[in-house]
Amino acid sequence: MIDEDYPLERVPREARYSWFNVAVQRFGQLSDLTQFLLGATLGAGLSFWGAFWAFTLGSVILEIVCIFVGIAGMREGLSTSVLARWTGFGRYGSTLIGVIIALSLFGWFGVQTAVFAAGLHTIMSGIPLWAWCLITGLGVTALVLRGFRAMGWTAFVTVPAFLGLAGWAMWVELSRHSLGDLVSSTPFGEPITIATGATIVAGSYIIGAVTTPDMTRFNRSTADVVKQTLVGISLGEYVLGLAGVLLAYAVKTSDVIAIITASSGVVGVVILVSATVKINNWNLYSSALGLMNAVESTIGVRLNRVAVTVGIGLLGSVAAAMGILDAFSGFLFVLGVVTPPVAGIMVAEYFVVKRWRPVLDASRELGRLPETEPAWVPATLLVWAAAALVGWLSDAYGWIGIPALNSLILAGVGYIVAGKLGLVRGTRELPVERPAVPV
Ligand SMILES: Nc1ccnc(=O)[nH]1
């Protein structure tokens, strides 16, 4: 009933799944209520076609990241933070990545739990909000304990339920308006540029893109990763996002979640459950993988995935119940700035510089991890910091281009240049220790 799911080792070939299973889970991550909100935000600031181009640009950025990082994850069968050890970051760089992933997705888990609970509280107000937070948070936690297979089944049920019912709720609202009028609407809020819109689109899912290997380590081939990404992300961004734009024009407010969840009774409950569970399970799953790598890479203790999941799930549910997650949003912004360069560096190392590819290739043949790993890679940390700084400045000062993309490309190019100059070197090689018995 409980799958440990190879959190710190390679996923063997025989434990992998069809591309469609992964694609449905991927689409499930993108088809949630906050995606409508994203559409509404773009609708408030852009025309329909402006929003269309912002979604297109943002999706292209995300898909490129997901495909390249995802192929590395599929080939090596490793989660993002474990893979990072041999894709430019070394043991302790991967600790940082594990911590960043664990914290960001802990934050998202709490936020989604709060959205979930608030919706259910509106429909069934007899139970207090804090209690709904605990019920929904711990419910999702119980699912995540059971691992990838169970999450796949969940997506197969919740994705069609969500599309059908949320689609219907939307249709009811949109059919009161003429589609032509909606498409030719002007933005009703503060206007934004397409580049800003694309940044919002890419930024809102960049942590999902960087953690792609957590998911694609269960894919079987490069073609599967590509198909899964194109189908899952394109549908998720366009269908849900553009629907959110139209809805926002229809009601001239950004509060589109209220419209979808205004369906009361059983329909409202099914919409909420099906919207949230399939994304929030992944928030918790990847958060746990990140934390396990962070702990193992620093103190050599291999935690049990179930224990870590329960710990984070409980803490996140309590944080949601206490309503303290607003304090987290500034922090999530900082994490959003440091995340894109990670993708640039991983891709540059794995596909271009290839400093650690030989050890990955040799150990992959044996189905094991490499014997050694670099401790720190100073050049990577410098490139990472510089790229994150440029990303942050280009956002703050409205420099040319798309901030997330600027920092991603700069990190990739910077790493390649450092590699060509022979600067990509670990401080020392450490033996990879694998405590055999989970604690
Ligand atoms: N946009 C999001 C990224 C990651 N997790 C979420 O729940 N939502």
Phi-psi region of 90 (alpha: psi -120 to 50; beta: other; left: phi over 0): left
* pLDDT at residue 214 is higher than 90: yes
pLDDT confidence band for 436 (50 / 70 / 90) = low
Distance (Å) from CA 355 to ligand 1 centroid: 32
140 CA → ligand 1 middle, Å: 15
What's the confidence (pLDDT) of residue 268? Answer: 83
Mean pLDDT of 255-264: 68
pLDDT of residue 439: 47
Which distant-in-sequence residues (6+ apart) come within 8 Å of 216 by Cβ?
22, 70, 71, 73, 74, 225, 228
pLDDT, greater one: 202 or 376: 376
**Ligand 1 pocket: which of 30, 34, 106 to mutate (most atoms <8 Å of CB)?**
34
Q: 341-351, pLDDT tens digit by residue?
A: 999 999 999 99
Interface pTM (ipTM) of the complex? Answer: 0.97
Span 187-214, average pLDDT = 92
pLDDT given for residue 122 in this prediction: 85
pLDDT (tens digit, 9 = 90+) per residue, 372-426? 999 999 999 999 999 999 999 988 888 888 888 899 999 999 999 999 999 999 9
Average pLDDT over residues 15-37: 93
**Residues recorded for the chain:** 439
Confidence label for 263 from pLDDT (cuts 50, 70 and 90) = low
Quick one: CA torsion of 53, 56, 61, 62, rounded to 10 degrees?
140
Dmax (CA) for the chain in angstroms is: 66
- Ligand 1 pocket (Cβ < 6 Å) reads 34, 108, 112, 204-205, 207-208, 279, 283
Pocket test of ligand 1: the residue of 35, 101, 204 to mutate, having most ligand atoms within 8 Å of its CB, is 204
Q: How far apart are CA 115 and CA 131, in angstroms?
A: 13
Q: Answer yes or no: is pLDDT of 261 > 70.
A: no
Calculate how far, in angstroms, residue 208's C-alpha sits from the geometric centre of ligand 1: 7
Give the Å distance between the CA of 34 and the centre of ligand 1: 8
Determine the pLDDT at residue 260.
67
State the distance from the centre of ligand 1 to the C-alpha of 288, rounded, in angstroms.
15
